Structure 1
Amino acid sequence: MRVLNLTELEQQALVSHLNMADGHPRQDPTDEQWKIIHALPELFEVALALPADHIEEHAQRAFFAMLGQHRAPIADGRVFSVYSSSVATMVVGNVLAQRQHRLALLHPTFDNISDLLRRSVTVLPVGEDDCAPPALDEIVQQGATSLFVTTPNNPTGWYLDSAALKTLAEACKVNGILLCLDTSFRGFDVRAQYDTYEILDRSGVSYIVIEDTGKIWPMAELKLGFLAVSDDLREAVAHALSEVLLSVSPLVLKLVETLSLDAAASGMGALHELIATNRSRVTAAVADLPGVAVADPDARVSVCRLRFDSAEAASRVLGLLRGSGIHLLPCQQFHWARPGEGGRYLRLALARNTVDVDTALAHLAEATRTR
C-alpha cells in the first residue's frame, strides 16, 4: 500500500471531528481581524480602483516590515508575489532544473518540499546541524551546487540565527552554492526576525527566499507567498514564474497589507501569546503521561512534536486518536530520506483555539494509557 504524504493525511483531517494535523491557522480570528473580514467589501472596491503595482508594493512592504525584513529588495523588483509557498517551491524547482543543480535539502522537513523538488533535480539530505562549515564541505564533495534550508523548520522549530546565517551565506558564496531559504514559519519566532536580506545581500551569495502568509492568519485559506531573490536570479525567476502565474489577486494583496499593519500594531503579539499558551498546555499535559515527551522544548513555531518511547507506541496512539476523530500527523514523512527516523514522533498543531488543544490532550492522555 502506498504511504500517504502529509498533505493527503491533512486532507483527511479537514473533515474529521477535530483537526490537529495541519499547520494552517484554524483558531478564531481576533476582534481586530474580524473587523478586517467585515471590511472585505470595502477592500474589494479599493483593489479595483488602484493600480496593481501600487497595491502589490504596499502589501509587500507591510508584510516584510512586519517581520523585520526592512532590506527586502522590493524597490529593486526582486520580490515576486505568488499564490502560496508551494507554488513558490515549484518555481524554485524549475529554476534549479534549468541550471542543472544538484540540491542539498534540509532533513527532516515537510515532505512536499522534497516531493516537488525531486521531480526537478537530484536531492541530497542534509541535517540541521550540518548547515554550517565545515559540514558544508561534505555536501560540496557530494556534488551539491545548491542548498535548501527551512528556517524556522517544520516540524522541529530549529532555526538559523543571524550569526549562523551570516556564516552559511559567506560559505555558500565562497563555494558557489545557491542558497534557498523557506521562512514560512518566521512569523512565530522573533529570534528569526532579524533582517535576513541585509545579511544575504551583504554576503554576495546567490539566493532565493520563500516567504508565506498562509501560516499566520486564520483567513479561510486566503493567503499569498513571496519569492525574494538575488539580482543575478531575477530574470530566471521572473521567467519561471511567468510559466505558472499571471498575477495574484489584488483583493488578497489588500487583505495581506491590512492584516500586516494590524499584526505590526498588536496582532502578532496576540498570535505569539496563543501559541505559547497552547504549547504550555501541551507541555504540562505530557509531563503526566508515561512514555511521552515534548521533543523540541525550545521551539516557538505553531506545531509541536511529541516523542514516544517507540515507533510502535506512537503508531498505536495515532490509531486510537483517529478512531476518536482526532487527527495528528505521523512524522515519518518529514524524514523524507530516512522515514524510520521519524517513527517515534507525532506532530500536534498549535494554531487552534485552546479549548480544542485541551480536548485533543484529553484524548491523548486516554490513548496513551490504553493498553
Structure 2
Amino acid sequence: MLRNLTERQVSVLSYEYNLADGHAYRAWSPQEQAVVDSTPQKFRQVDRRQQDAIEAEYFETFYALGQQTLDTDHFARFPCFTASAGIEIIANYLRLKNLSATLIEPCFDNLKDILLRHQIPLEPIPDDLLEADGDVLTAFLDRITTDALFIVSPNNPTGATVRRPNFERIVDFCARTGKTLILDSCFRFYMPDEDVYDQYKMLADADIDCIVIEDTGKTWPTLELKGPFLSVSKRLVEAISHINSDFLLHVSPFSIDLVTDFLRTSLQDGRSHIRGVAAQNRAVLHAELAGTFLTPVEREHMSVSWLRIDADITSAEVVAELAREGVHVLPGNEFYWTDKSVGDHYVRVALMRDPAMFVKAAARLGDTVRRLTETLAR
C-alpha cells in the first residue's frame, strides 16, 4: 500500500515512461554536458577546506540567476540535503515555539505530513488567492489567526504564483501582525521574466521574520546532486541554527560546486533551455489531450501539468489505467489535505523529461485517455 505521493514516485523510478516526480530528468544541453565532463577533475580538486568559498560562490550565482538581492546582513543561509529536510527543520522550529500555521492548498503532501507529524495546528489558504484581487486577498489575510503563513510560489501542482502587488500585501500583513512568513520557492526558475521581482529585498526592507526554501533539483538534471537551502531572517537564525546542526555537519562541497556550474549555464542562456524544455513538452501533451476529458489548468510557466478530469472517473482510476499502459503520473487527491475528494478530479504530469521520450509517453497517454473516453461514452 503506497502511503503518500513520495512512495508512489519511488515505486515507479525505474519505468521508462515515468512522468510522476517533478525532478528534472532530461537530456543535458551542450553546455551542461561540458559541466558533466568536468566532474572527474572537479572531484579530485574540491575538498571541505574550500567549503565557505564554494558556498559563497554558489549563493552569489543562485541569487544572480533569480534576480534576487543577496543581503548577508539580513539573511543567513543553511544548506541542506533536500528541500524536504529543510521543511523538517522548519517544522521543528514551529513545534518548539508552539506556533500554528496557515498552509497553502493544494500542495505536495509531504508539506502537510511533516507539519502534522510535529503536531503543528494547520489552517488552509487556497492557492488561487495568490492571484486574486488584492482586496480579496487582504480580506482573507485579515481573518488569519495562526502564527505563520506558509505559501508555495510558484505552487506545485498548479503553478499559481504570487505576483509583486500581492506579495507586497502579504509582506505588509506579516509586518503589521507579527506573523512569520514561510515561502517555498523551489520552482522559482521557471517563472517568466515579467513576473520576476526582488522578493528578498522586499523581505529585508520590511524586516519581518521569514524563512525562504530554495532548491535546484526541480530544474537541473544532476542525478539528485542538488543545492537546497534555507534563507533565514536574522531574528530566527539562532533557533534554526541549533536545529540545523542536529541534522548535518555540512553538505558536499563537490555537489555545491557542480550545481554552481549548472546554474552558470542558465545564467549564460537566460534560463531559455530549462524553460524551453517545459514549454516544448507541454505543447506536445496538450496536443495529445485535445478533445479528451483531461483539461490542462496549470499556469503555463510551470514544470508540471495539472489536468482536470471532466468525466465520471476518478484520478485513482485514471492513474491505474495509465499505469497498466506503462505511463506513470500522480493522482490529485493527495494534494488536497483538507478534503482529498476535491483532488479526485485531477492528475499531475511531470514535464521535465527528455523531449524524445516525452513524445512517446504523451502519445501513449493520449491513446489511453481516448480509449477511456470511448468507454465512458458507451
- State the TM bucket, normalised to the shorter chain: over 0.9
Partner of 1:138: helix, strand, or coil?
Answer: coil
**Structure 1 segment 138-177 matched on structure 2, within 5 A:** 138-140=143-145, 144-177=146-179
How many angstroms apart in 2 are the aligned matches of 1:344 and 1:200?
A: 36
Task: Look up the equivalent residue of 1:86 and give its one-letter code.
Answer: S
Task: Determine if contact 1:60/1:74 at 8 Å carries over to the other structure.
Answer: no
The answer to whether structure 1 residue 107 and structure 2 residue 105 are counterparts is yes
The answer to whether structure 1 residue 222 and structure 2 residue 201 are counterparts is no
Shift of 1:50: 5.2
**Structure 1 segment 53-68 matched on structure 2, within 5 A:** 53-68=52-67
Match of 2:273 in 1: 270
Match of 1:285 in 2: 288
Task: Determine if contact 2:315/2:333 at 8 Å carries over to the other structure.
Answer: no
Task: Look up the equivalent residue of 2:19 and give its one-letter code.
Answer: M
Task: Determine if contact 1:63/1:256 at 8 Å carries over to the other structure.
Answer: no
Moved over 4 A (4+): none
Match of 1:28 in 2: 27
For residues 220-271 of structure 1, give each alpha carbon's deviation from its aligned partner in whole angstroms, at most 9, with x where no partner exists: 1111211111111111111110111110001011112211111100172111
**Structure 1 segment 1-371 matched on structure 2, within 5 A:** 4-48=3-47, 51-69=50-68, 71-74=69-72, 78-120=76-118, 121-130=120-129, 132-140=137-145, 144-190=146-192, 191-266=194-269, 268-289=271-292, 291-296=293-298, 298-310=299-311, 312-370=313-371, 371=375
How many angstroms apart in 2 are the aligned matches of 1:236 and 1:115?
A: 22
How many angstroms apart in 2 are the aligned matches of 1:151 and 1:34?
A: 30
How many angstroms apart in 2 are the aligned matches of 1:193 and 1:246?
A: 34
Change (3 A) 1:267 1:223: farther
- TM, length-normalised to structure 1: 0.94
Task: Determine if contact 1:212/1:226 at 8 Å carries over to the other structure.
Answer: yes
Task: Determine if contact 2:319/2:329 at 8 Å carries over to the other structure.
Answer: yes
Shift of 1:167: 1.0
Task: Determine if contact 1:311/1:343 at 8 Å carries over to the other structure.
Answer: no
Change (3 A) 1:49 1:232: closer
Task: Determine if contact 1:152/1:160 at 8 Å carries over to the other structure.
Answer: yes
CA RMSD of aligned residues (A): 1.7
How many angstroms apart in 2 are the aligned matches of 1:327 and 1:96?
A: 35
After the TM superposition, which of the residue ranges 157-166 and 277-286 deviates more from structure 2?
277-286
How many angstroms apart in 2 are the aligned matches of 1:62 and 1:215?
A: 17
Shift of 1:360: 2.1
Change (3 A) 1:276 1:176: same
For residues 138-174 of structure 1, give each alpha carbon's deviation from its aligned partner in whole angstroms, at most 9, with x where no partner exists: 222xxx0001000000000001111111110111111
For residues 4-36 of structure 1, give each alpha carbon's deviation from its aligned partner in whole angstroms, at most 9, with x where no partner exists: 311011011102231010000111111111111
Change (3 A) 1:129 1:320: closer
Partner of 1:171: helix, strand, or coil?
Answer: helix
Give the paired residue count.
364
Task: Determine if contact 2:315/2:343 at 8 Å carries over to the other structure.
Answer: no
Indicate the percent of aligned positions where both proteins have the same amino acid: 31
How many angstroms apart in 2 are the aligned matches of 1:354 and 1:43?
A: 29
Shift of 1:75: 5.7
For residues 43-84 of structure 1, give each alpha carbon's deviation from its aligned partner in whole angstroms, at most 9, with x where no partner exists: 223322852211111111111211111x23346561111111
Task: Determine if contact 1:311/1:345 at 8 Å carries over to the other structure.
Answer: no
After the TM superposition, which of the residue ranges 265-274 and 324-333 deviates more from structure 2?
265-274
> Which ranges of structure 2 fall in alignment gaps of 5 or more residues?
131-136
Task: Determine if contact 1:158/1:299 at 8 Å carries over to the other structure.
Answer: no
Change (3 A) 1:340 1:180: same
Task: Look up the equivalent residue of 1:193 and give its one-letter code.
Answer: V
Change (3 A) 1:338 1:3: farther
> Which ranges of structure 1 fall in alignment gaps of 5 or more residues?
none
Task: Look up the equivalent residue of 1:90 and give its one-letter code.
Answer: E
How many angstroms apart in 2 are the aligned matches of 1:292 and 1:130?
A: 24
Task: Determine if contact 2:309/2:345 at 8 Å carries over to the other structure.
Answer: yes
